[in-house]
Structure 1
Amino acid sequence: MAASEEHYTLARPEFDRPVKILIVVAPYYKDIADQLIAGARAEIEACGGTHELVEVPGALEVPTAIGIAERMSNFDGYVALGCIVRGETTHYDTVCNDSSRGLTLLGLQGLCIGNGILTVENMAQAEVRAQADGQNKGGGAAAAALHLIALSRKWGAARKGVGFVPAKDEYQIAGDSKDPNIA
């Protein structure tokens, strides 16, 4: 059983300036979500970071909320939390695969995301994995996001655009008040 296995855990990253994390949770199974949140908060706070929490209707909305936050706010990283329990239909497969795929695509775009969306066969498995004083998958997801933030800070600031400055901005930077190409 997974609970009796020992796993290597990376040392907690250290930061010269605090990190700001958005925790996005789908609280469909509220007791499970609360445990995941507790673990994530404790890990973020242990690094001296701050966090905000938002709830979304389900696991499929978690990647969308993170994408919106990335475009419209200033978070260093994200923690995705929720629980998907296998049911009688293939909906389980769709939700597991698509929420994971959405998070992976955002990560490949450079977002620092820890995926703590549990995908389990039954509630007993979810409870064991969610417990903040047990397997602590919420804390593990926060740790993953924090490690990615540390890497992104090590390798440089985020890059925006494709390397050119639009003409309008170029003249503003040079201090000119008017573009000479406009009559």
Structure 2
Amino acid sequence: MAASLEHTVLPVPSFEKPVKVLIVVSPYYSDVAAGLLTGAKAALEDAGVSYEIVEMPGALEIPTAISISDRRSNFDGFVALACVIRGETTHYETVCSDSSRGLQMLGLQGLCIGNGILTVENKSQADVRADPDGQNKGGGAALAALHLIALGRKWASTPAGIGFKPLGEDTVMAGDLDGNTTA
């Protein structure tokens, strides 16, 4: 069983400047959502990160809420929390695939998103993964978002080395970049 396997947990990143995260949670299964939220808030608070919380009706609305929030606010990252439990219809596959795909597309556009949307076969699997004192995937999703934010900040000021440069810095003639012209 996966729960008994050892796995590596990265150290919590530290930040020089304040970090603000939006947690988007679906309370469809309210007790599971509460557990995920408890874990996410604890992870963010332990890292000294401020956060806000918004609720959406279900997992399918979470990527859209994150996209709207990114365009109209100033969050450094996002945590998506929900639970999808397999039922008797194919709706489960649609919700799992489309919510995951939506978050992945936003991530590939540069958003820092921790995906804590559980996709489980039954309620007991959800309870194990949402337990604040157990696996708590909400805390894991919050930490994933923090690692992505740290990575983005690490490379934010690194010049890409391509594209246009300011006038005077665009051409180097026989010498070093610091202006030394002796060979």
1:17 Cα deviation after fit: 1.5
The answer to whether 1:35 aligns with 2:35 is yes
Q: Deviations over 1:98-120 (max 9, x none)?
A: 00000000000000000000000
**SS of equivalent residue, structure 1 residue 8:** coil
Between the aligned partners of 2:85 and 2:39, the Cα distance in structure 1 is 20
**SS of equivalent residue, structure 1 residue 110:** coil
Report the equivalent of 2:68. Answer: 68
Q: How many residue pairs end up in the alignment?
A: 159
Between the aligned partners of 1:148 and 1:100, the Cα distance in structure 2 is 17
**SS of equivalent residue, structure 1 residue 155:** helix
Unmatched tracts of structure 1, length 5 or more: 158-162, 165-183
- Pairs within 5 Å for 1:32-181: 32-156=32-156
Between the aligned partners of 1:90 and 1:154, the Cα distance in structure 2 is 42
Between the aligned partners of 1:90 and 1:28, the Cα distance in structure 2 is 18
When the two structures are superposed, what TM-score results if normalisation uses the length of structure 2? 0.85
**Structure of higher CA gyration radius:** 2
Unmatched tracts of structure 2, length 5 or more: 158-162, 165-183
What percent of counterpart residues are identical? 70
Moved over 6 A (4+): none
Between the aligned partners of 2:3 and 2:130, the Cα distance in structure 1 is 12
Letter in 1 for 2:33: A
1:15 Cα deviation after fit: 0.5
Between the aligned partners of 1:17 and 1:3, the Cα distance in structure 2 is 35
**SS of equivalent residue, structure 1 residue 22:** strand
When the two structures are superposed, what TM-score results if normalisation uses the length of structure 1? 0.85
1:18 Cα deviation after fit: 1.8
